[in-house]
Amino acid sequence: MHILVTGGTGYIGSHTTVELLNQGYQVTIVDNLYNSSIKVLDRIERLTGKRPQFYQTDILDLLSLENVFKENNFDAVIHFAGYKAVGESVSIPITYYQNNIAGSLNLYQLMAKYNVDNIVFSSSATVYGDNFQVPFKEEYGSGDTTNPYGTTKKFNEIILTDIAKANSKLSCVLLRYFNPIGAHPSGLLGEVPNGIPNNLVPYIAKVASGELEYLRVFGDDYDTIDGTGVRDYIHVVDLAKAHLKAIEYTVKHRGIEVINVGSGFGYSVLEILHAYEKACQKPLPYKIVARRPGDIATCYADTAKAKKLLGFECELGIDEMCRDSYNFTKMNPDGIE
């Protein structure tokens, strides 16, 4: 099977490409390298012995993207390409709607034109907003999103649902990721945040490497085990494997399914910090500061649907997540260059 992976040189896309190639899939990546390096292709080749076909193409460029469809015969698409920084999306919403909505529409339009009917879309637990009780269940639908980034994910879910209503051949899995962290155990692939990280584990990694002085813990007065925010962290390699299950599902079914991808467990900020201290074998300084606006106390997935429909369960725990994050950080002090 030939899979088009948009955003395939990015953090989750590169790990997914490795799993796809290892399982014998043919992979073509489309990425404009806005948030990733061309060197990722060398790393993927080192890990798999295979080099995916690569187009440095912006999905906003309809003519170039059409060229990719003309030159290939895809069986399915995994659509990762997009912007993902929550805070930035509040400052530059038009840019986010342009890239994540208009770019996606180009892709969906070409899929229809070239009869590519299977798609797995990168959605996010952020679409639940702050409306529901944990564990978050797919049947809740989506809530009021709290930032433009989240709204772009919610709109994509709605757009794909409408496309599925109009095209009975379409098979779509909307994967709602919880908090992906960690890196490839080889240390060759991982997350390379731009500037000072917004997310917890990339920030802790920079404290561990000495680049940042201490972690700011956003609030210790939530109604949680130790007062700090609780999230459902999933190892990026487990998440990558969930995409293979989702692709297998799309080829056997028609219609659209929303599926959570998380571990089903919640860890607090301090629990993650202490797990990371174990991984790097040193104490990591932190200070409690005010809550971060927009944060909720607790977020974790109901994973029953992923298990039932995809046969997917996480295999890696918090120790592996922190170990692999730290290993990647040590091995790549300048990122993937």
Q: Closest residue (Cβ) to ligand NAD?
A: 10
Q: Does the footprint of ligand WQD cover residue 131 (CB under 6 A)? A: no
7 contact choice in ligand NAD, ligand WQD, none (CB below 5 to 8 Å, kind-dependent): ligand NAD
Q: Does the footprint of ligand NAD cover residue 80 (CB under 6 A)? A: yes
Residue from 96, 193, 176, 191 nearest 142 by CA? 176
Q: Closest residue (Cβ) to ligand WQD?
A: 229
Q: Does the footprint of ligand NAD cover residue 59 (CB under 6 A)? A: yes
Q: Does the footprint of ligand WQD cover residue 217 (CB under 6 A)? A: yes
Identify whether 135 is preceded by a cis peptide bond (ω within 30 of 0): yes
Task: Supply 109's token pair.
Answer: 């339009």
In whole angstroms, give the CA distance from residue 276 to residue 174: 31
**Taking CB under 6 A as the rule, which mask of x and - marks residues 85-114 in contact with ligand NAD?**
--------------x---x-----------
Residue 139 is classified by DSSP as G
Stretch that binds ligand WQD, among 32-40, 61-69, 92-100, 215-223 (CB under 6 A): 215-223
Alpha-carbon distance values, 30 to 59, 62, 234 (Å): 8, 12, 25
82 within 8 A of 5, measured Cβ to Cβ? no
Task: Supply 278's token pair.
Answer: 């174990």
200 contact choice in ligand NAD, ligand WQD, none (CB below 5 to 8 Å, kind-dependent): ligand WQD
Residue from 180, 183, 211, 194 nearest 331 by CA? 183
In whole angstroms, give the CA distance from residue 114 to residue 73: 8
For ligand NAD, the closer of residues 6 and 298 by Cβ is 6
Residue 126 is classified by DSSP as G
Report the Cα–Cα distance between both ends of the chain, in Å, rounded.
Answer: 31
Q: Does the footprint of ligand NAD cover residue 60 (CB under 6 A)? A: yes
Q: Does the footprint of ligand NAD cover residue 20 (CB under 6 A)? A: no
Q: Does the footprint of ligand NAD cover residue 11 (CB under 6 A)? A: yes
Query: Which of 54, 80, 97, 203 is close enough to bind ligand WQD by CB under 6 A?
Result: 203
Just list the catalytic residues: 149
Query: Which of 124, 171, 298, 327 is close enough to bind ligand NAD by CB under 6 A?
Result: 124
